[in-house]
Amino acid sequence: MAGVASCGMTKPEMLPIAEWEKGVDDVRSGDPLWTVQAYRMSVYAIACHTFDRVRSPAMTKAPALDQLTRALGSVAANIAEGYSRSSIADRVRFYGYALGSTREAIAWYDTLAMELGETVAHRQRILVQIRRLLLTTVRNARPTTSTRSMNDIGRRSADSDS
């Protein structure tokens, strides 16, 4: 299985992203979109999800599986579509959709704790990194305005990413 490390008699594990990226084909890595870190990470998140589904038969029975699969696919698809748009407004809109799907995927992973155990935290950390990248991208692309959004309300903690 591509992207998998095996350590002797132990169960195979998904490669860390840096190692996984080395095995990505030229069709994907040759596209300028591949330079977008959030996109690369979202494709890696899909690869991890595919690995989890193959490794854990209990995943196939999980009610949240279809929703999670769609949310993860939507993250990568919306980043790709936004990247391809010429207007800033269109780009921001699609990156916003990707951000929403990222948050949705984080929530769906919560429902898979029984099937995936400690793997859930690792998968969510990847998505949190994608969320931070998208928040920064959207924030930097939007024109400055005096209107308040939901993430302007209330106090943020030091480790907040919104």
d(CA 113, CA 13): 17
Write the DSSP symbol of residue 71.
H
Alpha-carbon distances, residue 22 vs 15, 26, 87, 102, 112 (angstroms): 10, 10, 32, 24, 29
d(CA 19, CA 154): 40
Alpha-carbon distances, residue 80 vs 34, 60, 155, 161 (angstroms): 9, 28, 33, 23
Close Cβ partners of 125 (under 8 Å, ≥ 6 residues apart): none
- Taking a C-beta distance cutoff of 8 angstroms, is the pair 67, 108 a contact? yes
- Domain locations in the chain? 12-142
The kind and range of the H/E element at 8 are none
Domain 12-142: what homologous superfamily? 23S rRNA-intervening sequence (1.20.1440.60)
- Is 0.85 topped by the overall pTM? no
Which phi-psi region, left, alpha or beta, contains residue 83 (left: φ > 0; alpha: ψ -120 to 50)?
A: alpha
**pLDDT per residue rounded down to tens, the chain (162 residues):** 456 553 333 456 899 999 999 999 999 999 999 999 999 999 999 999 999 999 888 777 878 899 999 999 999 999 999 999 999 999 999 999 999 999 999 999 999 888 888 999 999 999 999 999 999 999 998 776 555 554 544 555 545 565
